[in-house]
């Protein structure tokens, strides 16, 4: 038991150190705050927003950023039909094989495939992006201080550099990026996509939608975890009541 307590304490200390280091790296920036539907004890993902966010990722972000931990088939959890998932997967090409003649071949994606990286390797990615390496977005929401608020702030934080601010060639000013110098140009612009549900594709709306989608990508079992947690709490409450009633019964004759 003592060993377990020490392990938990050590893990807690390491977590605090990691968060502190992350905040230091981020310059203690105050990110924009959004009341995300999926946060909180009873929060669930806004599936309409997540579906729109998936469209933003596919049409805007996928050209530079991969999503290598997410399989197409899991999109059904967001309300996509099986036919829609098949159509989305077929938009991508994968190298498969070997065939009966020992040759590799290209094929359209299938639901069991995962979103592919847009570049063959890191060097190819850097060569296409002026030396910068676009990170995989599978866990990006959990990998940055501020989580959802960080990503939303970053996507909506592009501004003209203040007077006197030295901005190197090829860099862009972002109010919410550490150091305010970011290689990625503003990825979102008004009406960059055309939402099938008729929602106005403003920069703010697209930023929120893709953030919800990437929050789901980083933690697709969040709702199941919350449901299990609530069941455990209810069970413990009932069990406590039973133990209390049993105690009262057993000791009722003792004065």
- 160: DSSP letter: P
| Segment (H or E) for 96 | strand 93-96
Could you give the domains of the chain? 21-70+114-157+183-248 (1.10.760.10)
pLDDT, greater one: 8 or 250 = 250
Q: What is the pLDDT of residue 17?
A: 39
Q: How far apart are CA 20 and CA 144, in angstroms?
A: 12
- 181: DSSP letter: E
- The pLDDT of 28-55, averaged and rounded, is 93
According to DSSP, the β-strands at 172-173 and 105-108 are unpaired
Q: What is the residue-averaged pLDDT of the chain?
A: 87
Residue 124 has pLDDT above 50, yes or no: yes
pTM: 0.80
């Amino acid at each position: 038991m003592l060993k377990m307590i020490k392990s938990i304490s050590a893990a807690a200390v390491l977590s605090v150190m990691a968060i502190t280091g992350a905040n230091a790296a981020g310059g203690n920036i105050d990110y924009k705050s959004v009341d995300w539907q999926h946060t909180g004890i009873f929060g669930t993902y806004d599936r309409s927003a997540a579906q729109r966010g998936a469209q933003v990722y596919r049409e805007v972000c996928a050209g530079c950023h991969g999503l290598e931990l997410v399989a197409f088939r899991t999109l059904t959890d967001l309300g996509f039909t099986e036919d829609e998932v098949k159509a989305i997967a077929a938009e991508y090409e994968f190298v498969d094989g070997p065939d009966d003649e020992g040759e590799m071949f290209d094929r359209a994606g299938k639901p069991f495939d995962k979103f592919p990286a847009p570049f063959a390797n890191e060097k190819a990615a850097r060569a296409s992006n002026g030396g910068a390496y676009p990170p995989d977005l599978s866990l990006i929401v959990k990998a940055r201080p501020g989580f959802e608020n960080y990503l939303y702030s970053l996507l909506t934080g592009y501004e003209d550099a203040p007077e006197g601010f030295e901005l190197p060639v090829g860099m862009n000013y972002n109010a919410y990026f550490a150091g305010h110098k970011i290689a990625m140009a503003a990825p979102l612009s008004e009406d960059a996509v055309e939402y099938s549900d008729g929602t106005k594709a403003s920069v703010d709306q697209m930023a929120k939608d893709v953030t919800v989608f990437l929050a789901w990508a980083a933690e697709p079992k969040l709702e199941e975890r919350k449901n299990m947690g609530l069941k455990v709490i209810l069970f413990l409450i009932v069990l406590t009541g039973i133990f209390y009633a049993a105690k009262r019964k057993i000791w009722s004759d003792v004065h």
